[in-house]
Amino acid sequence: MRHIREVLRLHHSVGMSQRAVVRRRRPEWAQRSNKSGSGKPARAKEPTCSGLPAGKTLHSFDFEAVPMVSKAQVSALAAGDGWLGKGANLLLFGPPGGGKSHLAAALGLALIENGWRVFFTRTTDLVQKLQVARRELNLEAAINRLDRFNLVILDDLAYVSKDQAETSVLFELISARYERRSMLITANQPFGEWNRVFPDPAMTLAAIDRLVHHATIIEMNVESYRRRTAIERKRGPGRPPEHATSKTRAD
């Protein structure tokens, strides 16, 4: 709910004049219909073709460390039928080290195993490739090629620099996939801080509107797994502090 309130606040702050700019007509290539239909696709290629990091599975994901993530909800998302067929999105928020990338990759692998086509990439890597495509006057074709994937996973959105060239190609990708193809995005910052990613308030609002219109939002606000592991390693073997025997005081 906090993220939805931030979207409403952004609507108010941008104002009607900027929102008129947001509603400008999308390019014809971004409005084309889904030629492959909305049904479940044929069996996908091997997972190694998707860009997924190795070893990130739902089986190895520590659900106990992230209690706000429901196993039942994740299982439903892993099936894919309830959202990928509709071009809906999944947004994972939380501080670094909370398991967002692991969960995103694990869901991607499960979806591939269920016959969907998935592409996983760091946001900065894809944005750089799209920038090159734009310079070569090939951006439309580059975005079109991503249409063969039912789901594009953009990991670490917040690390895109606040640069007009970078954020504009990212916005065009979001706009092109809107209501047609799904996206899974992980981000450290809540919507209220996305002005650090998109330099223009109208573009920020437009990107958020398209992403949340048909979206599931999961907030993973937990302590960093890496920090937790480092503390435990430094502490060394022995009983955890909460189970240690306290020193007996003299009467």
- Asked if residue 6 is part of any domain, the answer here is yes
d(CA 58, CA 154): 18
Q: pTM to 2 decimals?
A: 0.75
CATH code of the domain containing 89: 3.40.50.300
Q: Output the tens digit of pLDDT for each of the chain's 251 residues.
A: 555 555 545 544 544 434 333 333 333 333 333 334 445 554 444 443 578 999 999 999 999 999 999 999 999 999 999 999 999 999 999 999 899 999 999 999 999 999 999 999 999 999 999 999 999 999 999 999 999 999 999 999 978 876 777 789 999 999 999 999 999 999 998 998 888 888 788 999 999 999 999 999 999 988 776 665 666 666 666 555 444 434 444 44
Q: Residue 214 sits in which domain range?
A: 1-13+67-222
Residue 39 lies in a domain: no
Q: What domain count does the chain have?
A: 1
Reading the block at residue 100, the tokens are 């967002």
Do the beta carbons of residue 15 and residue 7 sit within 8 Å?
A: no
Amino acid identity for residue 101 in this structure:
S
